[in-house]
Amino acid sequence: MLKVLAKEVAARRGLLCTFIGKPITERGGSGTHVNLSLEKAGKNAFHDETADDGLAPITRHVLGGMMNHLRSMTAVCAPTVNAYKRLCPGQMSGYWVNWGYDHRGVAVRVPPARGSRTRLEHRLSDGAVNPHIATAAVLQAARLGVVHQMAPPPAETKDCWDNVGTDKHVPTSLAAALDALESDQEFIDALSRPYVNAFVVVKRAEWERYAAHTTDWELNEYLHFL
């Protein structure tokens, strides 16, 4: 509803409001971060004051689930062809499968606040995402991490610009992201198999239309020289 209202208000003023992930090549993309915390018996369950980093064991399992299913959830969190112009190294967009303490170059950031404000910031989704689906995907990945007691990789300590502590990254196209989603049967069942099946059909058709289309870039790049 917010997106519809924003676009309508902009149109009435002769402006165009868009939420696509990378509308301008030379500028940063548009993200929709999902922030997550967990409460139990009135207290933040992600916090453990006895831990060196202030994080409870369940927080690490949640991080483990998010890391394990990050590639699988990319298609629903970055659901357009354009989204993958944003998901690139050095874009602070969740490209790398990593997490870190107050690190904006990772997929899942652990902000510095502790106590009742302990939370995780999932940075993968772009502006075009359905926020309900993105939230569901993040929650299901977190739940699977807790159910299976998954452990995350070590926290990222490198800058994620010139150096990064992992070679794992999200898919680099919508087609590859759909492949990754379809390969994760557990995540599909967790999110909703009927929904994922319908989503994949629609998005495969979208990708096929894009792949068959001759773009302005191709014409500008090749037409006068080849």
Nearest to 125 by CA among 117, 136, 115: 136
Residue 137, amino acid: A
Domain residue ranges of the chain, discontinuous segments joined by +:
30-209
d(CA 59, CA 120): 9
**Would you state the pLDDT for residue 56?**
98
d(CA 16, CA 20): 12
Fold of 30-209: Creatine Kinase; Chain A, domain 2 (3.30.590)
C-alpha torsion sign, points 116, 117, 118, 124: positive
β 120-122/99-101 pair status: unpaired
Q: List, for residues 50-65, the tens digit of each pLDDT value.
A: 999 999 999 999 999 9
**Residue range 4-16: average pLDDT?**
95
153 pLDDT more than 90: yes
d(CA 167, CA 165): 7
**Would you state the pLDDT for residue 2?**
87
Nearest to 174 by CA among 50, 77, 65: 77
As a whole-number percent, the residues of the chain with pLDDT over 70 amount to 100
d(CA 98, CA 107): 6
Residue 114: pLDDT band (50, 70, 90) is: very high
**Residue range 36-45: average pLDDT?**
96
**Residue range 82-90: average pLDDT?**
95
Let me know: does 55 contact 110? Beta carbons within 8 Å: yes
Q: List, for residues 171-193, the tens digit of each pLDDT value.
A: 999 999 999 999 999 999 999 99
Nearest to 69 by CA among 154, 189, 160: 189
Q: How far apart are the first and last CA of the chain?
A: 47
90 pLDDT more than 90: no
d(CA 132, CA 13): 29
DSSP, collapsed to helix, strand or coil, labels residue 137 as: helix
d(CA 85, CA 47): 36
Q: Could you tell me which residues are beta bridge partners of residue 110?
A: 101
Residue 81, amino acid: V
pTM of the predicted model as reported, rounded to 2 decimal places: 0.93
Residue 209: CB atoms within 10 Å = 10
